[in-house]
């Protein structure tokens, strides 16, 4: 790695640390507007969706695989249905994983 790359990584780490440390150290003094506070509630869902959806739709990383052979897609759809119906995190995780493994076993 070149010294430029090391400096770039250290700079990004410093900026990230400074932002997070400021919010944690001064968190009791920082107040967000209601609109920003409401928008921040959707950050975890957006981040997890950005991680999970590509894995569901492109498990091999080589293009969309929208078929019944894709156990990741079937398990993900099952997890979405369970989450929408029962709104229970443990049931969603267990149901999605169970559906994924059963679907793979049946193939």
Burial of 82 from C-beta contacts in 10 A (0-12 / 13-18 / 19+): buried
Residue 27 has pLDDT above 80, yes or no: no
Q: What is the largest CA-CA distance in the chain?
A: 56
pLDDT of residue 32: 83
pLDDT of residue 28: 75
Which conformational region is residue 101 in: left (phi greater than 0), alpha (psi within -120 to 50 degrees), or beta?
Answer: alpha
Give this prediction's pTM.
0.70
Q: At what angle do helices 89-106 and 71-86 cross, to 10 degrees?
A: 150
The answer to whether the beta carbons of residues 76 and 99 sit under 8 Å apart is: no
pLDDT of residue 22: 84
């Amino acid at each position: 790695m070149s010294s430029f790359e090391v400096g770039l990584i250290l700079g990004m780490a410093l900026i990230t640390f400074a932002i997070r440390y400021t919010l944690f150290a001064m968190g009791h003094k920082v107040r967000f507007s209601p609109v920003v506070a409401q928008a921040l509630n959707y950050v975890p869902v957006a981040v997890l969706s950005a991680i999970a959806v590509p894995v569901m739709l492109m498990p091999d990383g080589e293009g969309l695989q929208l078929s019944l052979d894709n156990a990741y897609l079937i398990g993900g759809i099952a997890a979405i249905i369970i989450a929408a119906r029962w709104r229970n995190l443990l049931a969603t995780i267990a149901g999605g994983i169970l559906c994924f493994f059963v679907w793979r076993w049946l193939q």
